[in-house]
Amino acid sequence: MGRTLTEPLVERMRAYGTTIFAEMTALAQQTGAVNLGQGFPDTDGPNAMLEQAVDAIRGGLNQYPPGPGLPPLRQAIAAHRKARYGLAYDPDSEILVTVGATEAISAAILALCETGDEVVLLEPYYDSYAAALSLAGAVRRPVPLRPVAAGGRFAFDPDDLRAAVTPRTRVLLLNSPHNPTGTALTVDELQTIADIAIEHDLIVVTDEVYEHLTFDDVVHVPIATLPGMRERTVSVSSAGKTFSVTGWKVGWICAPAAMVRAVMTVKQFLTFTHSGPMQLAVAHGLLREMEWVEALRSSLQLRRDRLADGLAAVGLDVHKPEATYFIQADVRPLGLTDGESFARMLPHDAGVVGIPTAVFCDDPDVGRPFVRFAFCKRDDVLDEAVGRLLAYAGRRR
């Protein structure tokens, strides 16, 4: 059926209505539930960085910044990437500032994929990936992440990954540290991906927004550091998660100059540019606030453990994450099988909101028993949520 005045939306986007995050947040507001659904912190970033933005606004930095981003931010990104990972990027030709990681990924997919090109990605996947592929007319080929054991980390089967690649594959779209499972891909896992990318001459687009929020001595390794990968990798990150300023929407890509030019060609007609004062403040953050980020990481690990212990006391099977803001909880020990039904009744019955993992999957069976809970909240918020869940569990017994 073609478009009509009553259904004007193009067909390729009709599967994307209100996001699950907006839906569950609205449900939290309606029911007065504690919202552990959407992944945003309830405290702000470092004060000195916030003051940098205020000073920039008062100082008159309120007109269009350059399309590729302010030079001080691009230089700070290059310095950070070099110091942290030994990766050298030219700030003038190999770094592009974007409106968060979401625009970076969408612009990259639109720039790099022709209609009908296939993109291999790990599922469950962040919901904007599927929409970006649909906008580009690309075809997604998901590879499942599954727990390696009860309560264990999520991992992919290398044979599944190899089988997903076809002559039409153009891009491998990665997310590590991974939302929603909390997996940080190991060097061996990354090497498997790199070998496949090199063998099939594929581009890798890698979402690394949780790069600094890893736990238990787990270290994030960018796939661009592996031999033969820098020249075929578009690395995406952002300030939102690193500095607890998700509303600023300042992201970036680091990539070879030709790929940056390709993404910039698309990006300039999406948003052109964005938020000069925040860009300047993020440059300050990358150069001077990484000790604050380390303190954030440590506090998040404690909050992860706080929520994990509470969810386990409720009777859920908890998959303690290696990184990110999120815990996966398996509802099957409660005698249930469907995490989505559980998540949708939980605001009403327990006064807590989580996100059903199945909505991040093409194959709902991959995520069916799991619910994602966010722990990037204050201790008192987490304690209130756990108390409500324990009371709910007591009523069920």
Domain residue extents for the chain: 11-45+292-396, 48-289
Indicate the pairing of strand 203-207 with strand 34-35: unpaired
* Edge-first strand listing for the sheet containing 203-207: 95-98, 251-254, 233-238, 203-207, 169-175, 118-123, 139-144
- pLDDT at residue 48 in the model: 98
- pLDDT at residue 123 in the model: 98
- pLDDT at residue 154 in the model: 98
How far is Cα 259 from Cα 262, in angstroms, rounded to an integer?
5
- pLDDT at residue 3 in the model: 64
* 3-state secondary structure (DSSP) of residue 336: coil
- pLDDT at residue 314 in the model: 95
How far is Cα 41 from Cα 378, in angstroms, rounded to an integer?
8
Helix 127-136 × helix 100-112 angle, to 10°? 30
- Mean per-residue pLDDT over the chain, rounded: 96
Q: Would you state the CATH architecture of domain 48-289?
A: 3-Layer(aba) Sandwich (3.40)
Q: Which residues contact 380 (CB under 8 A, 6 or more apart)?
A: none
Give yes or no for a cis peptide into 167 (omega within 30° of 0). Answer: no
Fold identical between 11-45+292-396 and 48-289?
no
What percent of the chain stands above pLDDT 70? 99
| Per-residue tokens: 204 | 């890798």
Q: What is the CATH number of domain 11-45+292-396?
A: 3.90.1150.10
How far is Cα 378 from Cα 42, in angstroms, rounded to an integer?
7
| Per-residue tokens: 137 | 């007319």
- pLDDT at residue 38 in the model: 86
Bridge partners, 118 (sequence order) = 139, 169
Q: For residue 24, which of 332, 319, 369, 371 has the smallest C-alpha distance?
A: 371
Residue 210's Cβ-side half-sphere holds a number of Cα atoms within 13 Å equal to: 28
- pLDDT at residue 2 in the model: 64
Tens digit of each residue's pLDDT (9 = 90 or more) over 344-391: 999 999 999 999 999 999 999 999 999 999 999 999 999 999 999 999
**Residue ranges in the chain whose pLDDT is less than 50:** none
